[in-house]
Amino acid sequence: MIDRLEKSKFDQGQIIIHQGDVGNYIYFLVSGECETEIKSEHGNVFKTTKYNQPGDYFGEIALLKNAPRAATIQATTDVVVLSIDKTTFLDLLIPIAS
């Protein structure tokens, strides 16, 4: 799996995942901090989560449930993540789950 990971950098304030988008990647935090917000139809924020530890991950729910992204994730500092695409993730996960 390690050879399939892609390294990406996001600047402070940059959106990593947009709520409602199609989920094509899972992300693993290498450094920095991110904040998650879930907004209602009326724009009210009703849940926030912080990711600030190396190894924290996000984006897996959309991949596993084949659903739109449930939240927006924004870099609150400069961030480095490793990501893996949906097809590769599921190809690697299915043999482990069997």
pLDDT tens string 63-85 = 888 899 999 999 999 999 999 99
Average of per-residue pLDDT across 6-32: 95
Could you tell me the pTM of the whole model? 0.86
CA 55-56-61 angle, to 5 degrees, is 125
Report which of 31, 98, 32, 90 is spatially closest to residue 59, judged by C-alpha positions: 90
> Between 12 and 48, where is the model more confident?
12
The C-alpha atoms of residue 51 and residue 48 are separated, in whole angstroms, by 10
The C-alpha atoms of residue 52 and residue 76 are separated, in whole angstroms, by 10
- Identify the sign of the CA torsion 30, 95, 90, 38: negative
Domains of the chain: 2-89 (2.60.120.10)
For residue 10, the model assigns a pLDDT of 98
